[in-house]
Amino acid sequence: MPNQPKILAFAGSSRIDSFNKKLAKFAIAEASKAGAEVTYIDMLDYPLPLFNEDLETKEGLPPKVLEFKRLLREHQGFIISCPEYNGSITPLLKNAIDWASRPELNEESLSCFKGKVAALLATSPGALGGIRGLVHVRAILEGIGVLVIPEQKAIPNAEQAFDPSGQLTDGRQAQGVAAIAQKLTEVTTKLYYS
């Protein structure tokens, strides 16, 4: 399809049965329906050491960081489903962003992020659905040049939110996620192909 935006989707969780991975996968299907070419990655496949500038100076960027950065560069938009840890961003997601923000030789600073478009989602067993953490993720991404669309969704009571096939059981919540995926696709298309 011409003018088809490429969107990278992932969750800020390494847990195998993560609710946020389910939410990211649900959003992928909706973005695909809206016309995007979507790639899903599991951060469990990108184990990264804790960011340490001395390690970077001594050994350079770890191979998994280079792989992650390549994927970020190859996509114009991001769907990020963000677990909330103590009211904030998960260490896994923050560490991945910190590593990816480090330039390679002759690379423009923050080239993985500048001008990209992102949609933020969250789900949590709690009543707030992870909304508090999204504030911090948004601030971090906007600070490094990502256009984060205003629409976002935090889904509470995650244990009851999905059926066995990974579909959202609440129709209004499902429509909300679908609308966000469509908006991300539309905005990314307009920015890159208009």
Whole-angstrom distance, CA of residue 95 vs CA of residue 140:
12
pLDDT the model gives residue 3:
83
pLDDT at 44 over 80: yes
Strands lying side by side in the sheet with 77-81: 37-40, 6-11, 77-81, 117-123, 147-155
Q: CA torsion angle for 127, 177, 136, 94 (degrees, to 10)? A: 110
Residue 150 lies in a domain: yes
Rounded average pLDDT over 33-53: 97
pLDDT the model gives residue 1:
55
Under 8 Å between Cβ of 44 and 14: yes
Q: What is the largest CA-CA distance in the chain?
A: 52
CATH number, domain at 122?
3.40.50.360
For the stretch 122-154, pLDDT in tens is 999 999 999 999 999 999 999 999 999 999 999
Residue 20 lies in a domain: yes
Q: Where in the sequence is the domain holding 18, given as residue range(s)?
A: 6-193
Residue 11 lies in a domain: yes
Specify the number of domains making up the chain: 1
